[in-house]
Amino acid sequence: MPDLLLGLIGDNIAASSSPRLHRLAGAQNGMEVQYDSLIPPAIGEDFDTIFARCAREGYRGVNVTYPYKEYVARKVEVSDPLVAAMGAVNTVLFEPGGPTGWNTDYTGFMAAYRAARGEVGPGKVCLVGTGGVGRALAFALVALEAAELRLVDRDTAKAEALAEELRAASRGTEVVTGTEVDALAAGATGLVNATPVGMVGHDGTAIPARCLPGAEWAFDAVYTPLDTRFLQDAEAAGLSIISGFELFFWQGVHAWAHFSGKPLDEPALYAALRNKTPA
Clarify whether residues 163 and 221 are in a common domain. Answer: yes
Q: What is the pLDDT of residue 279?
A: 53
Q: What is the pLDDT of residue 11?
A: 94
Structure confidence by residue, pLDDT tens digits, 101-159: 999 999 999 999 999 999 999 999 999 999 888 999 999 999 999 999 999 999 999 99
Clarify whether residues 220 and 265 are in a common domain. Answer: no
Q: Looking at 68, 106, 113, 223, which residue is catalytic?
A: 68
Clarify whether residues 46 and 155 are in a common domain. Answer: no
Q: Please count the structural domains in the chain.
A: 2
Q: What is the pLDDT of residue 226?
A: 85
Instruction: State the SS3 of the chain.
Output: CCCEEEEEECCCCCCCCHHHHHHHHHHHCCCCEEEEEECHHHHCCCHHHHHHHHHHCCCCEEEECCCCHHHHHCCCECCCHHHHHHCCCCEEEEECCEEEEECHHHHHHHHHHHHHHCCCCCCEEEEECCCHHHHHHHHHHHHCCCCEEEEECCCHHHHHHHHHHHHHHCCCCEEEEECCHHHHHCCCCEEEECCCCCCCCCCCCCCCHHHCCCCCEEEECCCCCCCCHHHHHHHHCCCEEECHHHHHHHHHHHHHHHHHCCCCCHHHHHHHHHCCCCC
Ranges in the chain, pLDDT < 70: 276-279
Looking up residue 207, the CATH number of its domain turns out to be 3.40.50.720
pTM score, whole prediction: 0.90
Q: What is the pLDDT of residue 107?
A: 95
Clarify whether residues 129 and 171 are in a common domain. Answer: yes
Looking up residue 42, the CATH number of its domain turns out to be 3.40.50.10860
Clarify whether residues 140 and 171 are in a common domain. Answer: yes
Q: Is 68 labeled as catalytic in the residue annotation? A: yes
Examine residue 211 and state whether it is found in any structural domain, yes or no.
yes
